[in-house]
Amino acid sequence: MVSQMNFKKVKISEECVGCGICESVCPVNNLLEDGTEFDPDKAELAIKVTNGEAVVDEEVCLTCGTCTFNCPISAISAEYEPTAS
């Protein structure tokens, strides 16, 4: 029997170089950026580069995994937990 896994949260490793690809592909960030009065310094982004590394806001992040698949150096990973049966 194969157990199902739920995506729990995004983890950023110390290898992150702050390239910003994760920030640009995030669907939450893209929805916010479509607004007419978008201010990246005030917006509640799901993931953003701060001081040279990516930071995830777990309150805003949808845990869709888009950033994990697009990180060119695999510095972003998904943490999973088994689903209750």
Q: Which residue has the higher pLDDT, 15 or 33?
A: 15
**Confidence (pLDDT) at 2:** 47
Cα separation, 71 vs 48, in Å, equals: 13
Q: Strand locations in the chain, DSSP E?
A: 5-12, 47-50, 53-56, 76-82
Say whether pLDDT at 69 is over 70: yes
**Confidence (pLDDT) at 1:** 44
**Confidence (pLDDT) at 75:** 97
In the chain the domains, ranked by start, together with CATH numbers, are 5-82 (3.30.70.20)
Of 13-27, 35-49, 68-82, where does mean pLDDT reach its minimum?
Answer: 35-49
- The mean pLDDT of 50-59, rounded to a whole number, is 93
Cα separation, 56 vs 36, in Å, equals: 24
